[in-house]
Amino acid sequence: MAERYSRTRRLSVDLVAGLSDADATVQSMADASPAKWHLAHITWFFETFVLRDHVPGYRLFHDRWPFLFNSYYDAEGARHARDKRGLLTRPSLREIIAYRSWVDDALLSALDSLSPSHHALVELGLNHEQQHQELLLTDLKHLLSCNPLGPSAWDKDLPCPAGPGEVAPLRWLRHDGGLVEVGHGGSGFAFDNEGPRHPIFLTPYALADRQVTNGEWLSFIEDGGYATSTLWLSDGWAWVNAEAIDSPLYWRRIGGTWEHFTLSGWQPLDLSAPVAHVSFYEADAFASWAGARLPTEQEWEFASASHDPLSGVQLDAAGAVTPCGDRSGAPSMFGNVWQWTGSAYRPYPGFRTAPGAVGEYNGKFMSGQFVLKGGSCATPRGHLRHSYRNFFYPHQRWQFTGLRLAKDI
């Protein structure tokens, strides 16, 4: 546990290497948070729910910081407004790194004396931190994309060194379904929203063997997909028109060439890579245009659980962060981009929230959002499960979000 704790915590700091204090401070939209805030918030989580609550004698690093770095836990009291996180030029990035060390020292010292239920809180904290590692990267990407200079976050090599590849024709993989079980049922860690494991009935269906690509999306654009009302959900059509949407987020056309913004700045669009940064509305409209539909989360999970080892393009300590597509010839259900499902995010039968502030982790968000599966190139490797349920509002697209088609058979 100590080793895993240290490794996970270290990755967060590694991700901001090379960022300036300013880069780590600014909030580019209400949905996003500053890197500095992420680094502090995930530390606050350990400080509050482990050290403060369960380690006698622990002294808070700073008595006003909990007000600043609580995210949404009403049971923890008042807090700094979410859309004002970018106004906190103090404390500095350096001070927050010091806060992290303070908490790490205390937690590692206390680790051996903590009970199993407190170890479970540490485990929750580490999974929580991994979620924020992904958010830190996607929020940073959004921030840099707002700068007309198109800066690069770091000096790593270009995202997909091998260059654009060929895309094999899409194949449909059949699943008979029937009465099956989904949801987390094992003994390892899982978030509360992944259970209980329960039976469901699936009618036969087929899933695409890979994600939709940039090239296929370009065909959708060129066929007038964004201007054809009949392809869209009513809410989606209102959104497209109100926001003047005509391509995925971070795409632009310079002369006749499409580019997309990456953490390494503007790059030519790789037509063979999975499309990223599309909303649920766009994914749904694309599926209609393609004569298909989005899979339900249960269809996705059942197919995934049958034959997939959680591989695929995910976040590794040293790597670039871009959905390059599967070059191996063995495409995975996981990685590259989160895949929108057609399932509204609602509780599983028998779901109960935990008591106390930790119970606010997932349950209270179960309205208005849609489930995504499979993780992305920005999800830390080791973080995912077949039963993992990510969720976002249908208009949101600053995450690495794409899709895989399904159809009835």
Contact residues for a second copy (CB under 8 A)?
20-26, 28, 64, 67-68, 72, 74-75, 80, 84, 86-93, 143-144, 146-149, 151, 179, 198-201, 203, 229-230, 232-237, 280-281, 284, 342-344, 346-347, 349-350, 359-360, 364-368, 394, 408
Query: Which sign does the torsion angle of CA 136, 137, 138, 140 carry?
Result: positive
- Based on CB atoms, which residue is closest to a second copy, 257 or 367? 367
Q: Nearest approach, Cβ of 233 to a second copy (angstroms)?
A: 5
- Based on CB atoms, which residue is closest to a second copy, 305 or 357? 357
Q: Nearest approach, Cβ of 367 to a second copy (angstroms)?
A: 5
262 three-class SS: strand
Please report, for residues 64, 96, 248, 279, the alpha-carbon distance to residue 396 in angstroms, rounded to integers and kept in the order given: 32, 29, 11, 5
- Based on CB atoms, which residue is closest to a second copy, 254 or 318? 254
Please report, for residues 60, 161, 179, 180, 387, the alpha-carbon distance to residue 185 in angstroms, rounded to integers and kept in the order given: 37, 40, 16, 13, 9
Q: DSSP class of residue 53?
A: H
Cβ(15)–Cβ(136) below 8 Å? yes
Q: Nearest approach, Cβ of 200 to a second copy (angstroms)?
A: 6
- Based on CB atoms, which residue is closest to a second copy, 319 or 359? 359
Residue of 201, 200, 204 whose CA lies nearest to 348: 200
| Ramachandran assignment for 255, one of left (phi > 0), alpha (psi -120 to 50 degrees), beta (any other) | left
Residue of 298, 279, 302, 396 whose CA lies nearest to 348: 298
Q: Nearest approach, Cβ of 305 to a second copy (angstroms)?
A: 17
Residue of 279, 292, 311, 298 whose CA lies nearest to 373: 298
Q: Nearest approach, Cβ of 173 to a second copy (angstroms)?
A: 18
- Based on CB atoms, which residue is closest to a second copy, 200 or 313? 200
- Based on CB atoms, which residue is closest to a second copy, 89 or 306? 89
Please report, for residues 265, 299, 311, the alpha-carbon distance to residue 174 in angstroms, rounded to integers and kept in the order given: 40, 11, 21
Q: Nearest approach, Cβ of 77 to a second copy (angstroms)?
A: 11
Q: Nearest approach, Cβ of 90 to a second copy (angstroms)?
A: 5
- Based on CB atoms, which residue is closest to a second copy, 41 or 80? 80
